[in-house]
Amino acid sequence: MNIAVFASGGGSNFQAIADACVDGTIPGEIVLCVASRPDAGVLKRAEKLGILSMVLEGPSDEWTPQVIQRLNETGADFVALAGFMKMIPSALIATYPGRIVNIHPALLPDYGGKGMYGMHVHRAVIAAGESESGATVHIVDEEYDTGPVVAQERVPVLAGDSAEDLAARVLRVEHSLYPAVVKAFAEGRVHIDGKQVTIHSPNS
């Protein structure tokens, strides 16, 4: 499977997926890194790995055809959003139906939606007095964080946690959950039926 990763920040989930491709855990490779800003740390990670990258410029109606063209040129057949801070245009979703996923640092449908990203999520979880949080991988649709849930992993919220403490705990599970989900897609083990997503075991 040829994977494109879209990111806006340091790219730790990009790295987790890349490492899983390199060691053979994921039967595929990252063929394109798409960054939403030129100073995104993920670009240095891509350069170090020799992965082609591009930076989005201007409004989405300008960069959407450029991205689709580049995805076609690289043979990408799957898109993973890893801390990507822009809304995915409908034209791109239509090009990859059921083949664009995102990872969110909370247990969706709770603590999702516009403005709920990064530390905003963790502060809200702590402020609400929740006893647990976690990470969610979901199919991307035309709204923020509303697509079908593919997989989740839970972590406890501990007494005295700061938002930074919780963020670090969630990020650790993201780094195992996300590659596992991408692996399942690469192996053809993910079945999507409307809002229901099933991951079949490797031997089923």
Domain ranges of the chain: 2-199
Residue 120 is a catalytic residue? no
Mean pLDDT of 40-53: 97
Q: What's the pLDDT score for residue 98? A: 95
Please report where in the chains the tokens 């990507």 appear, as a residue: 84
Percent of the chain predicted with pLDDT > 90: 90
Q: What's the pLDDT score for residue 204? A: 61
From CA 94, how far away is CA 171, in angstroms rounded? Answer: 30
Say which CATH topology domain 2-199 has. Rossmann fold (3.40.50)
Contact 14, 5 (CB under 8 A): yes
Q: ω before 109 within 30° of 0 (cis)?
A: yes
Does residue 57 have a pLDDT over 90?
no
Mean pLDDT of 156-178: 97
Q: What's the pLDDT score for residue 59? A: 87
From CA 23, how far away is CA 134, in angstroms rounded? Answer: 26
What's the DSSP call for residue 199?
A: E
Average pLDDT over all residues of the chain: 96
pLDDT band at 202 (very low <50, low <70, confident <90, very high): confident
Does residue 72 have a pLDDT over 70?
yes
pTM for this structure? 0.95
Q: Which of 104, 122, 138, 191 is catalytic?
A: 104
Q: What's the pLDDT score for residue 203? A: 75
State phi, psi for 32 to the nearest 5 degrees: -155, 135
